[in-house]
Amino acid sequence: MPATTLDRLGQTVAIGDTVQVLDITPDPDLDEDDLDMFMDMIGSRCEVERIDPDGSAWVAVWWNGCDGTLLTLTSLTPGQMQKVVI
């Protein structure tokens, strides 16, 4: 059975579902540029890559930067995401 979690509305979220990022909890040790990239994830719609046993859903955003393509990957608690129903 695939891992699932819930979003802020109690909707079931599974790997491959699209969620909207409502909030994140960045690492306090991030430098300003990295912190800006993480904060820019808020409002993004992302596909769930994996779900941890604690119910955190991992999402990724790809960015085109000066040095090429960059990846931002973070985990979201149920209160930090909402499932996008297409």
What is the pLDDT confidence band of residue 2, given thresholds at 50, 70 and 90? Answer: low
Class of domain 4-83: mainly beta
pLDDT at 48: 97
Average pLDDT value over all residues in the chain: 89
Q: Tell me the pTM.
A: 0.85
Q: Are 75 and 27 in contact (CB under 8 A)?
A: no
Identify the CA nearest to 50 among candidates 16, 82, 20, 77.
16
